[in-house]
Each structure stands twice: as C-alpha cells, then as structure tokens.
Amino acid sequence: MHTPSHLAALDTPAAVIDLPLMQRNIDRMQARVNALSKRFRPHVKTTKCAPIVRAQLAAGAQGITVSTLKEAEQFFADGITDILYAVGMAQHRLPQALALRRKGCDLKIITDGVSSAAAITEFGRAQGEAFEVWIEIDTDGHRSGIKPDEAALLDVGRILHAGGMRLGGVLTHAGSSYDLDTREALAAMAEQERAGCVHAAERLRAAGLPCPVVSVGSTPTALSAEHLDGVTEVRAGVYVLFDLVMKNIGVCGTSDIALSVLTTVIGHQADKGWTIVDAGWMAMSRDRGTQKQKQDHGYGQVCSVDGAVLEGYVLSGANQEHGILSREGAPDADIEARFPIGTQLRILPNHACATGAQFPEYHALAHDGTLATWSRFHGW
C-alpha cells in the first residue's frame, strides 16, 4: 500500500482502494487468462463500480458478468453491451431482461432446470424474443446447476432449442474452491471444474444441440488451472481487490489486498486490552469467512494508516457502529499509548464483495496519495 497523505481529510469509516494494487491485480489475472489463451469475462459484482470495470476492460477483458439486472442496466447505460446475468432467471424478472435486450443489450441469461427453461421459452415465444440462454452446470455440489451427467441437461437443452431460444452454452462456478488451501487441491478443483463443464458441452453437442460457449471460473480456480482445454472463457471477480479469505486460500498475500476500511480510534477498554474504533459490522459486514479457515482474522486484519499490517492485531468483535480491536493471545497492556484516540487505521476485509457493499462510494488512493471518489451502486 502507499502513503496516504490525503486520508486524514476523509470522514470514517471509509472504503479505500489502493489503485496501484488494484491495477496489479487486474494485470495479473488478465495475463493469466491470456497465457491460457481464453477470453476473460470478469464478474463485476465485487465492486459494482464503473471506473474499476473500465480498467478491467482496458486490460483486455471481453464482456462482463453481473449478479443483478440492476448491474446490467447500469453498465449497459455506461456503454457495455456484452453482459452475462449469472443468476438463475426468475420468471418475474423476464420483462426486465426483455427490456434490456430490446434496448440493444446483448444480455445472456441462465437456467438450471426444466421448469425455468420452459418459463423462459414460453415468455420468449409470446414476446417474439429469442433469449440467449446458458445452462448452469454443477461441477462441485456447491450451489446450483445441473450435474454434467444428468438427463435433465439434455431436457433443458431441447426445451430451449426447440422453443426458439438461442442455446448459448454452459457455465459453471467451482465455489467449493473457497474451502481449499493448497496448490494441489486448487489445481485439482480447477481440473474438476473444467472437465465437468466440458463434458456437459460435449453431451449437448452429441445430442445435436448447439453449445458454442463453455464458461468456467472462480478466482481460486482461474489462478490455479494448469490448462483449460475445451473451455472458451473464464470468469472471476474478487481478484480485482482480493481479501483475507483469498489470502488464506493461498492465491494472494496481504500485500495484494487493495481494499481496506479507514477507521478512527474513538475509545478504549484498557482493562480488557481493547481499542474501540468507528468501523463496526455496518462497515466491515457480518462476513466471518476466515472463521473456518486456517487463520481467523475476526472482522478484519488491522493495519496502520499507511497500510502496514500490524501482526497479531485484529478486529476481534463488532457491533453496529463500534469495532473492537485487540491483540491475539495476551491483551496489550499498552493499548491506549499504542492507539491514541483519533488515530487512523486501515482494516483489511474478510470478503471484499461484502465489505464493499456496505459503502455508497470508494475512495481511490493513487500512488502519490491523492484521492478520487468513485460511486458504487446498490440494490436489485
């Protein structure tokens, strides 16, 4: 991180992005996917911020992935047309998706079941719209999707294709990679993700159904895959900022985490070894993703205002607007002298997506210490 000469003017808590680190993360992932000779479609739900997405596209990304149709609307208004809405298509949102496509957005939607595919097809035919639909594949039992060998895969494909929809391809997300922490296990999961999705695509093609796109990805698997034969594109999101969960998984270090929450010391409980700061769970989020990992960072890792990690000091507790900073192990008897009232600190988040979602804007910190304010949108 870099010298924060302008941070003192910020009200706290504030979400701060270290721009050189962010750019380094963008360049690293893009170079990785380029080396694998695949198209890269970043998932922009992590930041929901136009300047950051423009930086990803400028580095070589092609198209974006979103988690809400509001994101699709916002980024389409910003000039991005190639958008994948990577959440199962709920029937009541079909009119919103139709409106986007009618305005010229090349919106792709997804399904993972017969009833959903039938609803999309029925609505599309009634409206004279050939939606582009991708089928979600479950390659790790983590969340949603059709297993690569399930009979339902071909049923869904046939419903869409025969009903006049455009069967665009298959996609998968190996979310269980977040439970791993060795290079070997991550590489194996990346291969499992790749092989399962490619197998699903091959089954569709063997049945005479189109499947031009094979889309895989998570940040851990994208950074761990040894090859991606049969895949056409990669998706990843949190890599742009990274966080403590990713650090524990082993795909980044604390020095790669570009997002922090600037906070101010507002009090002490000296007998307990506590420092009280103004960043509670409303700033950091309730996400305790490191709790089940090899190193629990509480609600976040404490750093000095210049970004240097203060080893052993974490945000160990949080109320709505109060954070409790303490030292792991024995309480720090010198806590008041070490962190006087008014001291600014920065807290690295467990989950960048969740922490970012607590704020309406980011403060982008350049190498020379100057700040720019970037809006971040919320909602569905």
pLDDT digits (tens, 9 = 90+) for 98-119: 999 999 999 999 999 999 999 9
Which DSSP letter does residue 270 get? G
CATH 2.40.37.20-classified regions of the chain = 7-12+252-375
Per-residue pLDDT of 261-277, as tens digits, reads: 999 999 999 999 999 99
Average of per-residue pLDDT across 166-188: 97
Q: Give the C-alpha separation, 176 to 333, whole Å.
A: 41
Confidence grade of residue 316 (pLDDT, cut at 50, 70, 90): very high
What pLDDT score was predicted for residue 6? 86
% residues pLDDT > 90 (the chain): 98
Q: With bands split at pLDDT 50, 70 and 90, how would you rate the model's confidence at 373?
A: very high
Query: Could you give the 3-state DSSP secondary structure of residue 262?
Result: strand
Tokens of 154: 């071909």
Helix 50-58 vs helix 69-77: crossing angle, to nearest 10: 70
Helix (H, G, I), strand (E, B) or coil at 186: helix
Backbone angles phi, psi at 276, to 5 degrees: -100, 130
Strand 371-375 with 361-365, pairing: antiparallel
Residue 1: per-residue pLDDT: 45
Q: Under CATH, which number does the domain 7-12+252-375 receive?
A: 2.40.37.20
Q: What is the pTM of this model?
A: 0.97
The CATH number that domain 43-236 falls under is 3.20.20.10
The average confidence (pLDDT) of the chain is 97
Q: How sure is the predictor about 357, in pLDDT bands with cuts at 50, 70 and 90?
A: very high
Domain span(s) for CATH 3.20.20.10 in the chain? 43-236
Q: What is residue 242's predicted lDDT score, i.e. its pLDDT?
A: 98
Q: Each residue of 212-223: pLDDT tens digit?
A: 999 999 999 999
Alpha helices in the chain (DSSP H): 19-35, 50-58, 69-77, 94-102, 114-127, 151-162, 183-206, 219-222, 244-249, 281-284, 335-338, 352-356
Rounded to an integer, what distance in angstroms lies between the CA atom of residue 126 and that of residue 41? Answer: 31
User: Which among 52, 33, 2, 108 is positioned nearest to 352, based on CA atoms?
Assistant: 52
CA distances from 73 to 96, 133, 240, 253 (A): 9, 18, 22, 34
5: confidence class by pLDDT, cuts 50, 70, 90: low
Q: What is the pLDDT of residues 270-310, one digit of tens each?
A: 999 999 999 999 999 999 999 999 999 999 999 999 999 99
Q: Please name the amino acid found at residue 31.
A: A
227 phi and psi, to 5 degrees? -160, 165
| pLDDT grade for 344, boundaries at 50, 70 and 90 | very high
- The whole-number average pLDDT for the span 17-23 is 98
